[in-house]
Amino acid sequence: MDEIRRRAQSVLSVSGSAQDVKTEVLAMANTCLPLSEKYQHLEVEAILRENLEGDSPPKVKVYCH
């Protein structure tokens, strides 16, 4: 996963086009990993805490670093 990510970052830094990293993005999306590892940049605890507060229906809010 890290190697694919590095390759995508390298291609993107040279071309600046998201279309040029489509293959790498699809490869990362299709990699079988535990969700906690695949989406480690998400602050799951904060999402759950916000979903449990108040009377409104649960919502998923995504926070990225």
Please write the tens of the pLDDT for every residue from 7-62. Answer: 888 988 888 888 888 888 888 888 887 777 766 777 777 777 887 876 666 555 55
Cα–Cα distance for residue pair 20/13, rounded to 1 Å: 10
Cα–Cα distance for residue pair 41/31, rounded to 1 Å: 16
26 and 10, same structural domain? yes
The pLDDT score that the predictor gives to residue 61 is 58
40 and 27, same structural domain? no
27 and 49, same structural domain? no
Whole-prediction pTM: 0.45
The domain in which residue 52 lies consists of 35-65
Judge whether residue 1 has pLDDT over 70: yes
